[in-house]
């Protein structure tokens, strides 16, 4: 039991605190040495695991971790060979501030940590870094994602992610990227990438790609927290997209409690007990959506949030306004004709025009290689075939999806679909 408790605490700390500590340490050692900051945090986590295994978890585990990380940072900065190895850029901070353990405490105040996380977000999303590497680096440094988790979010492999991380860090070093929040015209393009990164983080929690958990609530909480951190910043003037993203995440998160039944099995939205949906969260999401709409700007996050709002405010599957949802997907596809948008549009199309129309729409997407490796494409197509009473075709689809999915609950869900198809063929 104690080992389970330690594992739970460690996972919580890694998800919620590691990014904060890495951000503060990056300000101290400079963005060229992000890996050094990550190494310090990793070493601190290793120390925690070793000591807590025989001493027990301290009363304030987060405080313990911060203290050890600060000590390690000071130790490294005071060693001449480390200065040469890592080419510390912030000599003025080291010489005037870091000689005192009292002074370093100021770097770990709540206000400084919040500011440094914003700086870290925008540093990782510098325009000199490619967009896919920006997102990968942010997920790795700020959110504590492993290369495997990032690979799953990108529908790619770990080797590609490690290459992206290497390239991003190299660009930061070579371009001497500053650790700051941009201002003026430089802010908008980098803000969009930051928001895309936050949404990827949310989705990784909402649709866990591996393991036994279908919902990793802490990842979703972290995504909402980062978005709120952006929304609270006076440096960001146009917050339309931030409000829209917050609306989308909160509306989707409101359905968490109904996604798994008492037998620990996944439940499709159509069959969920809607009394379990979080009304407070729905109200908060709708309020953010109203704030976004009031600006007069239309964005992809706003349209997605409006789609989610239709689901969250419908009393049942049969009363869901699928006609409006399809129109919203049409607007979204005009703005962002990505394979995943078109996949979701096919679902709305099947609800308004029948499952055969959904099948036809998905068949036209088979040229999209990314969807052929995406389990939910095959699962959705299988559902359409089931509605058409074409169980043999549905069986083929569910088997393909089963080979691609890594989450244990989703595996069981698909195994049940496969068993059903076999039973009626």
pLDDT of residue 92: 36
The rounded distance, in Å, linking the Cα atoms of 98 and 105 is: 10
The rounded distance, in Å, linking the Cα atoms of 136 and 56 is: 34
Residue 42: band (very low, low, confident or very high) from pLDDT cuts 50, 70, 90: confident
Residue 290: count of CB within 10 angstroms of its CB = 12
Compute the chain's Rg from CA coordinates: 23
Count how many residues are written for the chain: 425
Q: Which residue has the higher pLDDT, 359 or 32?
A: 359
> Is the CB of residue 353 less than 8 Å from the CB of residue 383?
no
Mean pLDDT of the chain: 86
Q: What is the mean pLDDT of residues 104-114?
A: 68
Residues 6 or more apart in contact with residue 71 via CB below 8 angstroms: none
pLDDT of residue 91: 43
**397 has which bridge partners?**
none
> Is the CB of residue 339 less than 8 Å from the CB of residue 371?
yes
The rounded distance, in Å, linking the Cα atoms of 115 and 92 is: 20
Query: Is the C-alpha dihedral spanning 123, 127, 128, 130 positive or negative?
Result: positive
The rounded distance, in Å, linking the Cα atoms of 148 and 162 is: 9
Residue 17: band (very low, low, confident or very high) from pLDDT cuts 50, 70, 90: confident
DSSP code at position 406: -
First to last CA, the chain: 46
Phi, psi of 407 (to 5 degrees): -75, 130
3-state SS assignment for residue 144: coil
Compute the CA torsion angle 20, 22, 27, 29 (nearest 10 deg).
Answer: 160
Residue 357: band (very low, low, confident or very high) from pLDDT cuts 50, 70, 90: very high
Q: Which residue has the higher pLDDT, 407 or 377?
A: 377
Q: What is the DSSP string of 34-98?
A: HHHHHHHHHHHHHHHHHHHHHH---SSHHHHHHHHHHHHHHHHHT-HHHHHHHT-S-HHHHHHTT
Q: For the chain, what are the domain ranges? A: 1-108, 118-237, 238-257+274-320
Q: What is the mean pLDDT of residues 158-162?
A: 94
pLDDT of residue 79: 66
> Is the CB of residue 213 less than 8 Å from the CB of residue 195?
no
| Range of weakest confidence among 13-27, 299-313, 322-336, 389-403 | 13-27
The rounded distance, in Å, linking the Cα atoms of 70 and 260 is: 41
The rounded distance, in Å, linking the Cα atoms of 139 and 144 is: 6
Q: What is the mean pLDDT of residues 118-131?
A: 90
Residue 92: count of CB within 10 angstroms of its CB = 8
Answer whether residue 4 shows pLDDT above 80. no
Answer whether residue 397 shows pLDDT above 70. yes
pLDDT of residue 215: 56
Q: Which of 73-77, 264-268, 338-342 tops mean pLDDT?
A: 338-342
> Furthest-apart CA pair in the chain: how many Å?
77
Q: Which residue has the higher pLDDT, 235 or 212?
A: 235
Closest CA to 32 of 195, 232, 191, 172: 172
> Is the CB of residue 247 less than 8 Å from the CB of residue 281?
no
Q: Which residue has the higher pLDDT, 186 or 329?
A: 329
Token representation of residue 166: 């290497």
Residue 373: count of CB within 10 angstroms of its CB = 13
Q: Which residue has the higher pLDDT, 103 or 265?
A: 265
Q: Which residue has the higher pLDDT, 404 or 55?
A: 404
Token representation of residue 219: 């990842």
pLDDT tens for 172-225 read 999 989 898 888 888 888 898 899 889 988 887 787 655 555 557 777 888 898
Q: What is the mean pLDDT of residues 283-306?
A: 94
pLDDT tens for 56-92 read 888 888 888 888 888 887 777 666 444 445 444 544 3
> Is the CB of residue 27 less than 8 Å from the CB of residue 85?
no
Here the contacts of 147-156 (C-beta below 8 Å, separation 24 or greater) are 148/210, 149/204, 149/209, 149/210, 152/204, 152/209, 152/210, 152/406, 153/200, 153/203, 153/204, 153/209, 155/370, 155/373, 155/374
Q: Which residue has the higher pLDDT, 308 or 261?
A: 308
Answer whether residue 100 shows pLDDT above 60. no
Q: Cα–Cα distances in Å, from 281 out to 111, 204, 278?
A: 27, 19, 5
């Amino acid at each position: 039991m104690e080992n389970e408790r330690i594992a739970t605490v460690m996972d919580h700390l890694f998800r919620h605190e590691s990014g904060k500590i890495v951000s503060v340490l990056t300000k101290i050692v400079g963005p060229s040495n992000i890996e050094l900051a990550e190494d310090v945090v990793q070493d601190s986590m290793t120390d925690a695991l070793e000591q807590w295994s025989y001493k027990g978890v301290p009363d304030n585990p987060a405080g313990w971790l911060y203290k050890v990380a600060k000590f390690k940072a000071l130790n490294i900065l005071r060693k001449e060979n480390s200065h040469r190895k890592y080419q510390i850029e912030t000599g003025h901070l080291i010489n005037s501030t870091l000689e005192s353990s009292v002074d370093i405490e100021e770097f770990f105040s709540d206000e400084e940590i919040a500011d440094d996380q914003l700086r870290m977000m925008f540093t990782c999303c510098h325009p000199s870094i490619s967009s896919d590497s920006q997102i990968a680096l942010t997920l790795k440094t700020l959110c504590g994602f492993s290369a495997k988790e990032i690979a799953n979010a990108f529908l790619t492999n770990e080797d590609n992610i490690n290459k992206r991380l290497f390239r991003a860090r190299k660009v930061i070093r070579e371009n001497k990227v500053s650790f700051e929040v941009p201002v003026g015209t430089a802010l908008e393009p980098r803000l969009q990438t930051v928001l895309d990164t936050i949404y990827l983080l949310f989705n990784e929690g909402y649709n866990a790609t591996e393991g036994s958990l279908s919902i990793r609530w802490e990842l979703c909480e972290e995504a909402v927290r980062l978005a709120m951190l952006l929304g609270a910043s006076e440096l960001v003037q146009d917050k339309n997209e931030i409000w829209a993203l917050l609306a989308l995440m909160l509306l989707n998160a409101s359905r968490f409690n109904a996604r798994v039944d008492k037998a620990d099995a996944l439940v499709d939205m159509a069959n969920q007990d809607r009394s379990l949906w979080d009304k407070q969260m729905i109200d908060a999401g709708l309020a953010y959506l109203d704030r976004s709409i009031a600006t007069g700007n239309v964005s992809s996050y706003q349209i997605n949030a409006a789609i989610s709002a239709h689901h969250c405010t419908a009393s049942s599957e049969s009363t869901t306004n699928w006609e409006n949802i399809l129109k919203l997907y049409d607007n979204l596809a005009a703005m962002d004709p990505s394979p995943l948008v078109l996949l979701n549009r096919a679902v709305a199309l099947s609800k308004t025009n029948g499952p055969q129309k959904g099948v036809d729409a998905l068949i036209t997407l088979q040229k999209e290689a990314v969807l052929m490796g995406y389990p939910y494409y095959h699962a959705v197509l299988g559902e359409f075939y089931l509605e058409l009473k074409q169980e043999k075709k549905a069986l083929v689809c569910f088997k393909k999806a089963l080979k691609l999915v890594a989450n244990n609950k989703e595996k069981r869900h698909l195994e049940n679909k496969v068993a059903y198809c076999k039973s009626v063929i």
